[in-house]
Amino acid sequence: MLMPNLVAILALLAVGRTPTPEEIRAWDISVAPDGAGLPEGSGTAAAGKEIYANRCARCHGAKGEGRDSVPVAGGQGTLKSPKPLRTVGSYWPYATTIFDYVSRAMPFDKPGTLSHDQVYAVTAYVLYLNGIVAEDAMIDARSLPKVQMPNRNGFVPDPRPDVGRTRGSGSARKAR
């Protein structure tokens, strides 16, 4: 009597299964600086204006000046000043990171609710707010990696001996 029940219970407890290819695609959202991993889709700042107003401005301000949250625009030219303002526009070296970040984490209170086209469009809009792309520039997997960020060359290798000279080189460990 006990055995069939036990088997049924074990079957119930056997949670988990192999994910489907669709599920893996939905989770596999990483975008590299060179644009590898960017999905199909596209958008312009003009298209992103309304999405930004509805889904982002509440926290980041109408012009990206940061209201209840961090600014996403401005600060260019302040990094060497006593009061550096680090934003996507003044600090981030790669435009592709904006897509990656927004698609996985924004809107802060409802991440994952924007379509790829919508993420491309708000990415374009954030770039537009920073004066980096034109309002009608088509942003997609091919054009986004080519967007030159103002601080692209503002990073230098960390000179401390215990830090790798190039990213992923593993030289820190080899040096010991």
- List of residues contacting ligand HEC (CB under 6 A): 55-56, 58-60, 69-70, 72, 87-88, 98, 101-102, 106-109, 122, 126
Rounded least distance, CB 65 to ligand HEC, Å: 12
Q: Rounded to whole angstroms, how far apart are CA atoms 139 and 25?
A: 22
Based on CB atoms, which residue is closest to ligand HEC, 90 or 141?
Answer: 90
Nearest in space to 125 (alpha carbons), one of 57, 35, 36, 25: 57
Based on CB atoms, which residue is closest to ligand HEC, 8 or 53?
Answer: 53
Helix axes 96-105, 116-129, angle to 10 degrees: 130
Please check whether residue 55 is in contact with residue 122, taking contact to mean a CB–CB distance below 8 angstroms: yes
Rounded least distance, CB 150 to ligand HEC, Å: 14
Based on CB atoms, which residue is closest to ligand HEC, 43 or 141?
Answer: 43
Please check whether residue 48 is in contact with residue 116, taking contact to mean a CB–CB distance below 8 angstroms: no
Based on CB atoms, which residue is closest to ligand HEC, 58 or 63?
Answer: 58
Q: Rounded to whole angstroms, how far apart are CA atoms 17 and 106?
A: 29
Rounded least distance, CB 72 to ligand HEC, Å: 5
Rounded least distance, CB 73 to ligand HEC, Å: 9
Rounded least distance, CB 33 to ligand HEC, Å: 15
Based on CB atoms, which residue is closest to ligand HEC, 6 or 70?
Answer: 70
Q: Rounded to whole angstroms, how far apart are CA atoms 121 and 143?
A: 13
Q: Rounded to whole angstroms, how far apart are CA atoms 38 and 96?
A: 8
